Amino acid sequence: MFGARSGGWLACLGAAGLLLGGCAEPTRPAPGEAGPVFTTDSSRVQVAAGAHYAQRGWLWQRLWGRHYRALWATPVSAPVLRLGQQGFTPLRAGGSFQTNTLRLRTPDGRLFVLRSVDKDLSRGMASGWLGRLVGPVLRDQTCAAPPYGAYVATVLARAAGVFHTNPRLVYLLPDTTLGNWASRFRPTLYLLEERPANDQSHAASFGRARRVVGSDSMLTRVLRGPVSHLAPRAYLRARLLDLLVGDWSRRADQWRWAAFEEAGGTAFRPIPRDRDQAFFRFDDGWLTRLVSWVHPRYQTFNPHLVPADVGPLTATARALDHTALALLSEADFRAEADSLRRRLPDAVLVQALQAVPPEVRARMAHELLPALRARRDALPAAASRYYQVLQEQAVITGTDAAERFELTGLGPERLRLRVFARRATRPDSLLGEQVYDVRRTTRLSIYGLGGKDEFNLNGRLAPGFGVHLYGGAGRNVFLQGDILQAAGPGISIYPGSADDLVQVSHTVRVVLGTTAPATAAAWVASQYRLRLGERSEQETP
């Protein structure tokens, strides 16, 4: 959950917490506190997801937050899973620094993933004094998100028309099927869900797609040329759902992509997964509130989805946002938000909160329903702010095929961009357009990447903000319609090589020797941290 940049702050705050509270260790369990209680036939169990979170003392909870400790400590009923008995074959163990995961295969060839409900955030810390100091705090902060938020998010996604996984709560009892992994996967609660990969024509929740791929494969295809594209409206709807549930942790490796063949190419539609940080609560402790001020992406799920929170809340998926949403208009953003709001009436919100275990339904509804209602109603305003966030430092990427980028001045402080796919034997086809205004844009960066790209500058160009054009690989052309007409300050060209043709006004800045990504592969390597924090996966023993 916390990145390396947070380590120094957490070390200071951890020391403060330990000195002020003297409460690094949890208080003793209450007398008679029960462990797992099995039914007579051992097919079900009653157990808490994390009773230890509620054992912290009063001062610790004041410092580090009450969060969802009561939910974690409430025993719930779950079916017992014995892998061998139910026909699962373990294939691969993996997971992040926080979570244990186990990939499974059924006798009919379907793939599933087993993911631990409880996390240990301290596993990502290096050994030494910092790990010993901050470890107890990180371990404790798992309870900043509820243990069963994924079930709520699934029902909301289904109603919203967003593809989704279908997690089931199970209690794993290790058996001989686990082999050498038995010590790693201890008896506790896990989420069991289908793995969105390969042929999913049997799965309605994945659109019955015949091909599902990861973000690296999707980006490789989309940035290779205009034949494949990332469906922008479908992605926008999924991102607005992220805003609704307050899920700030949406890295590229937390998405899968369903591929559909359409007229003219392949469309990739998103399948969000890993809802560990949905309904995140971080403003109810003195020190956690301070951390969220320093790192505003740690947004708290509350009734107030205000415009100022939208930028930090969406930051972790910013590279994907620019790839998918750069050519949508503000009207598109608001239309998707209005549609999503209509799809989620109060009855659907109530139904979503009924998807959690019966033992915690009342508490979950009490804590989440008012905020869900308010955030749903705030979605149109939040969507407008989302559009403005992406406009502030706008990024446009071409592909490794040939594109034409046409920039036209629309009077002082306004600029229109139109992007075309260049065709050798037929007219260029318009891919999209966008208008930039100095009132919300401070910088526009256009990366041609590979291919023989063409950048056309038309009209009187005085946008009032920085415009940076990167040619990339291939022999590119930069042409100004009237080179005798001076362009306004702030327009810079970065040819990909000395072979690029540059015919522009002397007022346009030309910078040679750029180190900007020149191909799709270089762009993905520089912008996306796929599989971030993931361990090397172990094959079947």
d(CA 466, CA 454): 19
The alpha carbon of 438 is separated from its chain's Cα centroid by a whole number of angstroms, namely 29
d(CA 269, CA 261): 11
d(CA 234, CA 239): 9
Residue 230 near residue 268, CB atoms below 8 Å: yes
Residues 6+ apart with CB under 8 A from 20: 59, 63
Angle between helices 149-160 and 346-353 (to 10 degrees): 150
Cα distances (angstroms) measured from residue 396 to each of 155, 324, 327, 517: 34, 10, 8, 13
Cα distances (angstroms) measured from residue 55 to each of 29, 46, 154, 343: 6, 19, 30, 40
3-state secondary structure of 282: coil
Residue 408 near residue 390, CB atoms below 8 Å: no
**Nearest alpha-carbon partner for 35 in 186, 150, 193:** 186
**Nearest alpha-carbon partner for 349 in 340, 358, 359:** 340
Strands 101-105 and 111-116, by their bridges, are antiparallel
User: Which segments in the chain show pLDDT lower than 50?
Assistant: 4-5, 7-9, 15, 19-32, 531-541
Long-range contacts of 26-31, Cβ-Cβ distance < 8 Å, separation of 24 or more: 26/52, 26/55, 26/56, 26/57, 27/55, 27/56, 27/57, 28/55, 29/55
The alpha carbon of 440 is separated from its chain's Cα centroid by a whole number of angstroms, namely 24
d(CA 234, CA 486): 41
Residue 270 bridge partners (DSSP)? 257
Residues 6+ apart with CB under 8 A from 424: none
Sheet holding 111-116, edge to edge: 37-38, 44-48, 75-81, 168-172, 189-194, 111-116, 101-105, 89-94, 538-539
Write down the pLDDT at residue 172: 96
**Nearest alpha-carbon partner for 347 in 382, 324, 372, 327:** 372
In the chain, the amino acid numbered 195 is R
Q: Using CA atoms of 216, 222, 224, 228 in order, give the dihedral in degrees to the nearest 10.
A: 140
d(CA 145, CA 275): 10
3-state secondary structure of 466: strand
Write down the pLDDT at residue 375: 98
Write down the pLDDT at residue 531: 41
d(CA 464, CA 188): 59
Handedness of CA 368, 370, 373, 378 (dihedral sign): negative
Residues 6+ apart with CB under 8 A from 204: none
Angle between helices 330-343 and 361-377 (to 10 degrees): 150
Write down the pLDDT at residue 528: 85
Burial track 348-387 (b if 16+ CB lie within 10 A, e otherwise) = bbeebbebbbeebeebbbebbeebbbebbebbbebbbbbb
Handedness of CA 418, 421, 424, 427 (dihedral sign): negative
In the chain, the amino acid numbered 322 is H
In 3-state terms, the chain is what percent helix, strand and coil (to 5)? 35, 25, 40
Count of residues making up the chain: 541
pLDDT tens digits, 460-506: 888 899 999 999 999 999 999 876 676 777 899 999 988 999 999 88
Write down the pLDDT at residue 35: 83
Residue 214 near residue 253, CB atoms below 8 Å: yes
Residue 369 near residue 353, CB atoms below 8 Å: yes
Strands 454-458 and 429-437, by their bridges, are unpaired
Cα distances (angstroms) measured from residue 179 to each of 71, 79, 128, 540: 33, 22, 32, 9
Cα distances (angstroms) measured from residue 498 to each of 402, 477, 507, 514: 18, 11, 20, 11
**Helix H or strand E encompassing 354:** none
Query: What DSSP string runs through 388-428?
Result: HHHHHEEEEE--SS-EEEEEEE-STTEEEEEEEE--SSS--
How many C-beta neighbours within 10 Å does residue 345 have? 13
